[in-house]
Amino acid sequence: MRIEVKGRNVSVGDELRERVERRCQKIAKQVSELALAEVELTEEKNPRNATQSQVAEITLHLKGVTLRAREATDNMVRSINGATDDLARQVKRHRDKRRRRREMAKAAAEPRTA
């Protein structure tokens, strides 16, 4: 899985980049090597919403489907952790759904013996 990390109003240092890559390894085990994960780290400068100013958005492009996760907290590390956990849950659900469809199609194609 390829990972692109971008920062908006945030300088993405080596520490943040390594944290994102470490957290995405859990997702990378479940998806194709051709998958692309775009991670965008943002600091919003809204004074009314100061408690949720650190935002992590992850967009995962898979074959035929795009999954997104967004987490906003007061800490960038917590935002990254929350977004990756949410995306891992979505990937697992997507894989289970595809597996069930394949099994149902296979069962429907088999001739029944009475």
Other beta carbons within 10 Å of 42 = 19
Cα 28 to the chain's mean position, in Å?
Answer: 10
In a domain, 15, yes or no: yes
In a domain, 69, yes or no: yes
Span 26-58, pLDDT tens digits: 899 999 899 999 999 999 887 777 778 899 999
Residue 90 has pLDDT above 70, yes or no: yes
In a domain, 114, yes or no: no
CATH number at residue 14: 3.30.160.100
Identify the domain containing residue 82 by its residue range: 2-109
Write out the two tokens for 41. 């780290």
pLDDT for res 1: 92
In a domain, 97, yes or no: yes
Maximum Cα–Cα distance across the chain: 70
